[in-house]
Amino acid sequence: MRFLYAAFGFAALGLAIIGVILPLLPTVPFLLLAAFCFAKSSERMHNWLISHPSFGPMIQDWNERGAIRPAAKKAATVSIAAVFLLSLILGAPSHVVLIQMVVLSMVLTFIWTRPSD
């Protein structure tokens, strides 16, 4: 089971790193998933992730207070708006746009109702 958690942890970490580069892929949820998986599989990787200068503070904010930093909230909002706008520009079917509108509104509500710092 530890091997499975480690594999999921590395996959999530890889997606988080890609998310740093690609604006439409979220970083923090994948970091949280990686931290959870590494906590169950590899103490060394978990400690590395928690103490990482870039990734560690985001994970600690979530673990301690359920907080999302304002910059991350703004980046998520811009990314979500860009995806929605792209769907409109490309002429996505109205039922797809409606589903996106509902789901993305719920995601934004969740993000903006979390505490900051």
9 and 55 inside one domain: yes
81 and 109 inside one domain: yes
pTM score over 0.75: no
Whole-number Å distance between alpha carbons of 48 and 26: 20
80 and 59 inside one domain: no
61 and 75 inside one domain: no
Q: What pLDDT was estimated at residue 26?
A: 78
Q: Give the model's confidence band at 7: pLDDT under 50 very low, under 70 low, under 90 confident, else very high.
A: very high
Higher-confidence position of 27 and 101? 101
**Number of Cβ within a 10 Å radius of residue 110:** 11
Q: Give the model's confidence band at 88: pLDDT under 50 very low, under 70 low, under 90 confident, else very high.
A: very high
Q: What pLDDT was estimated at residue 23?
A: 67
14 and 41 inside one domain: yes
Q: What pLDDT was estimated at residue 105?
A: 93
Whole-number Å distance between alpha carbons of 15 and 17: 5
pLDDT above 90 (res 48)? yes
